[in-house]
Structures are given as C-alpha cells and as structure tokens.
Amino acid sequence: MADKNKHLDHIEDRIIIDGKKGANEAIDILKKMGDFLSGTPGPGVSVTTKWDGAPAVICGTDPADGKFFVGTKSVFNVNDPKVCKTEADIQKWYSGQLAQKLSDALRYLPQAQIQGVLQGDMMFTNDKTRETIDGQSYITFRPNTITYAANPSTPLGQDINKAQIGIVFHTKYTGSSLQSMKASFNVGDDFKTGGVVWAEKAVFQDIGRVASFNGAEKQKYDAAIRKAQGSIASGGNIFNQIQTGKKTLGIDTTLMKFVNQKIKAGVVPPVERTYAEFLYYLGSEYDKVIKKYKNVETQLKKAGQFLTAIEFMEENERQFKMFLATWMNISAAKMMLVDKMKRVQGLHLFVDKGGGDYVATTPEGFVAITGDKATKLVDRMEFSKLNFTIPKVWDK
C-alpha cells in the first residue's frame, strides 16, 4: 500500500534519482519482470498498461457521508478538498473542458456501481467520431496524444459506440477518509461496465501468451541484465556521488534535463559521445545562470561551481561513463520487455501526424508493480518523443 498515486519514474531514471539504491531497485524490477514474462511471476508482481487518457478522474463513494463524488487529485487536499457531488460543486471549482468532462463523469459514472474509491484515465465522452483509416471504418477517440480506434462491427466497438463515457481504472484507494486514503494498484471487480459506461481496468493480460519469453529470448534478456549489473559494478560510487539534492545545476538534475532533451531529439548517442555532449550541455546551463547575474562576485561564484563540477567529471571520467552505460543497459533490457508486451492490444492505436495522416503506433507503455513500488516501462524514443512533439487535444 502506498500514498496517493503521484508521478511515476522511468526505470532507467532511477539511477539518476536514487543513485546506487535506484540502480539495485531497477535490476530487481528487471529480474522480476523477466520471471513475469516467463510464466513464473513471484508474489506481489503485476503489470498495468498505460493508457493515454485525460483527465485523471478520482471517483466513488465518500466514506464521510456515503455519497458519490467525482474530482481530480485535489479531492485529497487536506485544506479545501474539491470533492464534487453536485453540478454546482463542479461549476464552483472548475471551468472549460475539465468542468464538462467532470460533469459527464458525475452524470454517468454512478451507473458503473463503483465500490469504494477509484482513479482512472478518461478516454472519451461525447467526443467519439467515425473515421476511415487505411480503408477501414473505425470509431475513434483521442483523449491526449494517441488516437484509439475500434472496429464498429466487433463486440468491443459496439460497446464503445453505445457508451456515453469511457474510462480505464488503474488505482484503488482505501481508508476511513479521503485525506487519509492509501493507494494500491490491485483494481479488481470494483466496478461494472456496459450501457452508458465503457470501463476497463488497466491490468495487463497476456492473451494467448503473445508477450511471453521463450527459452532463447529469456537467455538473451538475462544476459542484458548481467551487462547492466556489470556497468553498475564498474561505476563504483559515482551513482551516489552525483546525488546533490539541488533543484538546479546539480549534475543529477542537469543530467535528467539533458536526457529528456536527447529523447525529444529522438536519439541517445553512444557513451563516449554522450559524455562529451553532456560536458558541453553542463557548461551551457551554467553559462545561462552566470549571465542572469549582474554582480561580478556572484558570477565568479557560479563560475567556480562550474569548474568544480567539470573537475569532478574529468577526475571520474571512467566511472561516469559507466554510469551512462548503466542507464543505456537498463534501457536496453527494458525495451526487450516493452517490445514483447506491446504486441498485446485490443484497440487499434494511431498517431495523427496532422491533417488526418495517421501512423500506427503501440500502447504508451506499462507500469511494473513490485510490492508497493510502481515504475514506468515506456518506449521513450517512440512515445515520449511523441509527447514532446505532437500537439495535445486536451486542454488542462
């Protein structure tokens, strides 16, 4: 059981965020996921599929008075919780597209007979449409970046066509009050689907064992994990040494910005080049800060901090390169998982490149749940890049 469902980290980024502890946790997750896809999952291991929905909706029964409510994560606020039980509540706290979506949720979701309190990603309301893509007629909806498409002649398409609202539940909350509730990912038979509500749970199901590792694939995957473990060992204490805790211009926080920039560009170069490019990037970030100050003494202080950071990088060049290699090796093992799991999908998924030019894509990614920890497994070179570059239709 965990606290409220907050931001989830990418598995490879754990080494940047939590140092050696994060590296060891990432290896543990990779091993458990390998067992999961080999048909021998250990206790407390599960996987959910990430749906590209919006907005995130919290809904269910308020334990304080037994009344149905909807809202965003602000329902958990200790001060001024925004718990919407009437249309007047929604209009008081929200406006625009979000208010309309919450109004639809308040109107239709009671028919899902939700047990307790659930969180889900809204997939559609009255914004479904009929489109022809590659000569095939579909019912489509695009809550965020991905366009989801269902064949209207299939049972799935017929259910979606009848529904007034679509939602995918991924988190369950329990507790005696909204403010004290704890989150878990074990959504079960806590709701009903059908009629005006199309509801799914995000639990990953390997239908027909399409995503399962065979013997040779498992051996290759295990070798990838050993490679990541080798680079961790070669990195020594560098994993913890870069943990500055600074919000700006720490090596760890600047490296995170650098990684996201590379993903946005669509390529992470080999280790040697990445190391050299990061040194240049670190310098450019310090240069921006130095130029903001007019006081010469402050400029000199910031310049001194930069020289200290560069000296550290150069003195620990081999270890830092092993750190970068670990990030890449964990990413490579993760992609072996993602490439397997994304073969399983019920709906057709597309990305609109503009003007109705659709390109087929795959699910946003997956969430590995081990005990009370949840970690993102995402093809960042595909989906995260799309998130950076494809215009959103959702007005937050």
DSSP string, 67-102: -EEEE-GGGG-SSS---B-SHHHHHHH--HHHHHHH
What confidence category does residue 391 fall into, taking pLDDT thresholds of 50, 70 and 90?
Answer: low
Q: Taking phi first (over 0 means left), then psi (-120 to 50 degrees means alpha), and beta for anything else, what does residue 358 get?
A: beta
**pLDDT-based confidence at residue 392 (cuts at 50, 70, 90):** low
Q: Is residue 4 part of a domain?
A: no
What pLDDT score does 2 carry? 46
Q: Are 16 and 252 in contact (CB under 8 A)?
A: yes
In this predicted structure, the answer to whether residue 119 has a pLDDT above a threshold of 90 is yes
Indicate whether 157 belongs to any domain.
Answer: yes
Instruction: Indicate the burial class of 11 (C-beta count within 10 angstroms; 0-12, 13-18, 19 or more).
Output: buried
- Does residue 144 belong to any structural domain of this protein? yes
Same domain, 245 and 338: yes
User: Residues 363, 270: one domain?
Assistant: yes
Q: 2 in a domain, yes or no?
A: no
Of 203, 233, 260, the residue at which a domain comes to its end is 203
CA–CA separation, 340 and 337 (whole Å): 5
Q: Are residues 347 and 138 in contact, defined by beta-carbon separation less than 8 angstroms?
A: no
pLDDT at residue 346, rounded to an integer? 81
Task: Identify the domain containing residue 131 by its residue range.
Answer: 11-46+127-163+211-396
Mean per-residue pLDDT for 48-68? 95
Please tell me whether residues 27 and 80 are part of one structural domain: no
pLDDT score, position 5: 54
Helix axes 317-341, 271-292, angle to 10 degrees: 110
Q: How many residues does the chain have?
A: 396
Can you give the pTM of this predicted structure? 0.86
Token digits for 206?
């390997």
Of the pLDDT bands very low, low, confident and very high (cuts 50, 70, 90), residue 1 is very low
Q: Determine, yes or no, domain membership for 233.
A: yes
Mean pLDDT on 159-170: 97
Read off the pLDDT of residues 88-98 as tens digits, 9 standing for 90 and up.
Answer: 999 999 999 99
What amino acid occupies position 19? G
Considering only 44-48, 64-68, 71-75, 299-303, which range has the smallest mean pLDDT?
Answer: 44-48
Q: Based on the domain organization, do 132 and 270 belong to the same domain? A: yes
Whole-angstrom distance, CA of residue 222 vs CA of residue 33? 11
| Residue 3 covered by a domain | no
Q: Are residues 118 and 41 in the same domain?
A: no
Beta-carbon contacts of 311 under 8 Å, excluding residues fewer than 6 positions away, are none
Above pLDDT 90, what percent of the chain? 77
Distance CA(224)–CA(219), nearest Å, equals 9
272 has pLDDT over 80: yes
The CA–CA distances, whole Å, from 284 to 118, 135, 254 equal 45, 49, 11
Do 177 and 307 belong to one domain? no
Average pLDDT over all residues of the chain: 91
Same domain, 135 and 154: yes
Domain count, the chain: 2
Q: pLDDT tier at 309 (50, 70, 90 boundaries)?
A: very high
Residue type, 156: L
Q: What DSSP element (H or E) covers 298? A: helix 296-315
Same domain, yes or no, for 110 and 223? no
Q: Per the domain annotation, does 1 fall within a domain?
A: no
Bridge partners of residue 345, in order along the sequence: none
DSSP letter (8 states) at residue 13: G
| SS3 state of residue 146 | strand
What number is the average pLDDT over the span 227-241? Answer: 96
Residues 232-246: b if buried by 16+ CB within 10 A, e if exposed: beebeebbebbbeee
Dihedral sign of CA atoms 229, 235, 236, 239 in order: negative
Shared domain check, 293 and 236: yes
Domain match, 150 and 172 both: no
Give me the pLDDT at residue 394, please: 53
CA distance 88 to 85: 8
Q: Any residues with CB less than 8 A from the CB of 12 and at least 6 apart, and which?
A: 26, 327, 328, 330, 331, 334
pLDDT at residue 100 above 60?
yes
25 and 159 in a single domain? The answer is: yes
Lowest mean pLDDT among 103-117, 133-147, 166-180, 199-213: 199-213
Tell which of 149, 182, 203 closes a domain.
203
Residues 262 and 351 in one domain: yes
